Structure 1
Amino acid sequence: MMRILALLLVLAAAPAMAQPYADWRMAAPLLPLDAPSRAMRQAVTIGGEAWGPWQRLCREQTLRPGRPPQRDCLMVTEARREGDGVRLTLRHEPTGLLITAQRGVDGRIGAFEAVRADGTAPPDDARRAALLAAWREQFATLSLERRRIGPNDQFPLPVEGSPRGGICRPDGTATIGGRPVLVARCAVELAGRLRGGESDARVAIFARVAIDVATGVVSAQGYATRIETFAANGRSNGVVITPSRVVLE
């Protein structure tokens, strides 16, 4: 899931709009499944491989209600075996930033660092560091460690700003691009004071996710974020609902 605290700062000043959803969770984009999911009748073990065939990691975020989503991508320029895992070289398409990332067969993330074309570390730069941190958090939310998930199990999904993360429940099995995935629904709630302001906010997130069975990588997710802010007297300033999605292509 995206950087929720950063999104709050952008949306807090946006005017509340009438929402065309009987249930705000319907705003979450559908997953790009090859066919409707099937009921899950037995436990599924996810993970065991370090990476799949993906060439691009993209997120589409709606930063302003009523505006088209903004698309931002990392291109996989190299995926090289390293020990029992993989080392990826990623290029941020809008800026050209190069990133090296390690992922093990157990699903754990190792290094996630900016590099030059010759493999050396670039000089310190605050703007680049912020961009790198945002993508590091995004990459971490897509990587689940190897585990066995039963039809009635609950399991966590990392979410920035929430110590517990999202709570997910299996919804069935399906395929994306011919690869088996575990389909689940996740939810998380956050509350607190907006950073740098005096408004309190309540944030609820509902997500549809597809977890690649072979790798434990979340290969697709579509989620809706509901943000309600409150004045100092406790009165609601209104509700903003935004859809977003993250996909591996």
Structure 2
Amino acid sequence: MIEELLPAPIAVAEAFHDPVDVQLYPEEAELIAKAVSKRRREFATVRACARKALGQLGLPPAPILPGTRGAPQWPASIVGSMTHCGGYRAAAVAHARDMVTVGLDSEPNEPLKDDGVLNLVTVAEERAWLPEAAARRPGVNWDRLVFSAKESVYKAWYPLTGLWLDFDEAVITVDPVGGTFEARLLVPGPVVAGTRLPGFSGRWLARDGLILTAISVTHEAVAARTPPVGAGGARAHGPGDGSPTTR
């Protein structure tokens, strides 16, 4: 499924169940030694997916340990993302020479728990279009899709900034027919090759009880954006901008 959302330079692997024979490296196993069985299985399977995807790029198997804020520590010169939810695990990786960043998320195609959660993860602008989208395609839980898109945004954002991004710091708009979405950042975006990114473009898929969202940014897409940082009187922000608050 996930290969439908990401371009060819990105290697992907996915699983719809947890194999019983997945082997972890000792340092990985130590991290989840005290976790419940469900957590150990999903942790192991998603790393098996990641190693399979890395193998497609010609890289040997290696431990994949969580770094700051849980972001996976990929081998040098690799960018990527991992995701897991009930009945689904996936990883997507690419050489940094081919892709700037990748963000991937999976969710059950189910509504968010309640209005409190909805108000936490969405802004008024997003809530305004949810009823229309639901009327056009009632088989998609659009509130969950927005949540998933924001998770993909964060996974694409964090490797470029090292900063937290809260739910109310990006606005998602979705094409209900074309399977795409746009994320407009409400805070200064990451600077890549001297160009500040105002947001991210992504793709989504709802099928077989799942919602998948994915973002991939190419170097060509960054180069096509104008003006660069500081041009036209735009305010330049340093790498320390943003909040380190833990979600």
Return the TM-score normalized by structure 2: 0.37
Structure number with the bigger relative contact order (C-alpha 8 A, sep ≥ 6) is 1
- Give the strand-richer structure, 1 or 2: 1
- Give the helix-richer structure, 1 or 2: 2
Return the TM-score normalized by structure 1: 0.37
